[in-house]
Amino acid sequence: MYNSFRPGQVWLDTDGNRIQAHGGSVMYIDGTYYWYGENKEKSDGENGIWQWGVRCYSSQDLYNWKSEGIIIPANTDDPESPFYYKNQMDRPHIIYNKKTKKYVCWVKVMHKDDTQTETVLTADSILGPYTIVNEDISPLGMSAGDFDLAVAPDGKGYYYFERVHSETICADLTDDYTDLTGYYTTHFPHRFPPYVREATAHFIRNYKHYLLTSGTTGYFPSPSEVAIADTWHGPYTVLGNPSPQDTTKTSYYSQVTSVFKVQGKKDLYIACQDRWLPNEMNRKYEDYAKTFEQFFNPAMKDTKPDNLDDVVVANTSIADYVWLPIRFVGDRPYIDWHDEWSLDDYE
């Protein structure tokens, strides 16, 4: 039994197995928390298995998580399926539609030609079964990368995503959350990685909208950036790195996946982050950031980039989690490091 959070340490479920819920999020439903994400249990970096479906866990206290099983299974037969176990299916995000009474899940799929599309599924329960209702779509005709989904109090849905590899898009969802209306706004333009923003996580506090993002450095960590706005579509003002004391410039060797508010706490928000490469914490951000720029910057096309193969073959089956509380000074959020922390530390 756990009674505290220990960021970066191995986190086991109530059966004694590593928790496998990467790139996902946490939902609070009828007094229970549900944490879901990519199941990387078989992704050792050598067998070609990118994911083994989407797994979900339940908890009453946020420390101890019971496995509820695989809610969206991997496909082992059809290489054209978005959930084929060798396909790069990432970042499942689920929202609930009060009108249709459906749980709506979006996932992104990276293809061999470097384009990225989305697949949408629905279910009557958070635990499934899920049915594909919109497959292999290019939102707004764009190649769409890491994303987040959000729902307003009036039920309107929003989709924040990285337009590969150039800018962040905020787009309105249709009433059933399975497609886009066509209305969107653009934010944070950059010419190429590692500066383009990805892994977008949206949250609201005191009527202010926040977008917490990472740089584009694959599984290698990069400095986070936070931006603030008064409305869903902005305009967003970039506030900078929320962890200025992190001299490694790696967001504590992790990448943000989502932010949620703890029920029953006055002002406690948790930044959920993946530590994809726990065995690579000796690498310096400046070194691999330069490699990514060499690879994507047209002005550096004659510069031979360093080998990026180890990004693809990473053993993500041993990836850990870095959950940290967000501290606010006025409207400005900060993420400080804690070796160990507890919900009891907060009102």
CA distance 192 to 267: 36
- What is the extent of the structural domain holding 239? 20-343
Q: How confident is the model at residue 295 (pLDDT cuts 50, 70, 90)?
A: confident
Residue 5 lies in a domain: no
Q: Given a cut of 80, is residue 317 above it in pLDDT?
A: yes
Number of domains, the chain: 1
Residue 3 lies in a domain: no
pLDDT tens-digit map of 322-341: 999 999 999 999 999 999 99
Mean pLDDT of all residues in 295-311: 73
Q: How confident is the model at residue 112 (pLDDT cuts 50, 70, 90)?
A: confident
Provide the pLDDT for residue 314. 86
CA distance 188 to 166: 8
Residue 143 lies in a domain: yes
Provide the pLDDT for residue 303. 75
Q: Given a cut of 60, is residue 264 above it in pLDDT?
A: yes
With CA atoms as reference, report the closest residue to 121 among 159, 83, 77, 156.
83
Residue 4 lies in a domain: no
Q: How confident is the model at residue 301 (pLDDT cuts 50, 70, 90)?
A: confident
Residue 2 lies in a domain: no
User: With pLDDT > 90 as the criterion, what percentage of the chain qualifies?
Assistant: 91
Mean pLDDT of all residues in 9-14: 98
Residue 250 lies in a domain: yes
Grouping H, G, I as helix, E, B as strand and the rest as coil, residue 292 is helix
CATH of the domain at 311: 2.115.10.20
CA distance 102 to 336: 37
| DSSP state letters, 230-271 | SSTT-PPEEEE-S-TT-TTSSTTT-EEEEEEEPTT-SS-EEE
Residue 144 lies in a domain: yes
Q: Given a cut of 70, is residue 305 above it in pLDDT?
A: no
Residue 122 lies in a domain: yes
Provide the pLDDT for residue 187. 98
